[in-house]
Amino acid sequence: MRTIFHLDLDTFFVSVERILDPSLKDKPVIVGGDPKYGRGVVAACSYEARKYGLHSAMPIRTAYRLCPHGVYIHGSHKEYSYFSKAVKNILSLYAPVIEQASIDEFYMDFTGCQNVYGSLFAFASYLQKEIWDKFSLPCSIGIGSNKTIAKIGSDCMKPKGITYILPGMEKDFLAPMPVETIPGVGKVTLKDLHSKGIYRICDITNLPQDYFAAAYGKYGIDLYRKACGGGSEYLIPLCGKREQKSISHERTFSDVTSKQFLKEKLFKLTGKVCQEVRDKGWQASTINIKLRYSDFKTLTRSKTIKPTDDDRIVFNAAWDMMMKAHTRRVAVRLIGVGLSKFKEYSEQEELFEFEEVKRKKMLRAITRLRDQYGYEIIQMGTA
């Protein structure tokens, strides 16, 4: 039986901002877009701000309407990276295997370490204190037999909580929880589950697995397995610098038939993907699209092109693939676009490519503005 820790740094961005500016303590702090422009979304918010109904990914305009007296901060991304690495260095002193899931989340495998550390619940408390004493960063820890259970556990008693799900108790632990507790259950799936009378996780396990396999395919089997307390038991340690193989964005709908609607959404997804590629100083030579119908049949297509980071080029190729793949008269539930096979961008101002060079400079100017003021500050047309 594995013993997996999931450590989640509580309201990480806000916690770092409070380290940089102690006067922010106990105030409703919102990290994200600029409310003066009404653009962007909430990247993180303090528990004081959540009392007013704020949450991550909320439009900044809505957040300001609910909490106009809050302290709105654009964010100190270099500082976030610094503190994230510092925490990982501390964890590396104790954990045999670490997988960093995001800038503020870490999985650790402590299987067989009871002889070294004694009670793992007590050791989790020691880790919490170590991180707090050295960096003033609060964290919550979940301990379980797999990654899914450990992650759900770390969410149970925020902030500064520790939850240990004993081996064999996973199913009972999950049973009374709402189905959206399971990682991967989004708004569309949640609505569909509710329409079937499934509200709690025990409502899933009270039905046969075949029911979910028939309704959702492989996703349904995975959903049922997680509801029973299953999950991945092995971590993926990252040696040295992680090589990012792809960047993608996708969007789930409540069954769409309008091609114009799909076109508009694909254009926006393409813009975000290209923005990320430019932020990293890359160009991509492979474009990937995903199309999922309302019956959960999923298609993927890829195309190799000359390396680019241009929204227009990527969108035209992605939309062409999407329309060639969309051959059934069935509503669409999800679309996605991604880029892969990256190379470093190098600007070569060639004499006979003046217009192309001008466009590249324009795209980079737009990228800088979006990085500073939020993605929504500038929108480009499809023409």
In DSSP terms, 370 is beta-bridged to: none
CB 294 within 8 A of CB 331: yes
CB 235 within 8 A of CB 109: yes
Asked if residue 159 has a cis previous peptide bond (ω within 30° of 0), the answer is yes
Sign of the Cα pseudo-torsion (368, 369, 373, 378, in order) = negative
Q: Is 105 a catalytic residue?
A: yes
Which of helix, strand or coil describes residue 130?
Answer: helix
Which of helix, strand or coil describes residue 188?
Answer: helix
Longest dimension (CA), the chain: 70
Q: Out of 17, 99, 105, 130, pick the active-site residue.
A: 105
* Alpha carbon distance 225, 68 (integer Å): 43
Burial, 316: exposed, middle or buried (Cβ in 10 Å; 0-12, 13-18, 19+)?
middle
CB 271 within 8 A of CB 309: no
Burial, 273: exposed, middle or buried (Cβ in 10 Å; 0-12, 13-18, 19+)?
buried
CB 307 within 8 A of CB 277: no
Cα–Cα distances (Å) from 279 to 142, 343, 344, 369, 380, in that order, read 33, 13, 11, 11, 17
309 alpha-carbon distance from chain centroid: 22
Helix 77-92 × helix 12-20 angle, to 10°: 110
The residues annotated with a catalytic role in the active site are: 105
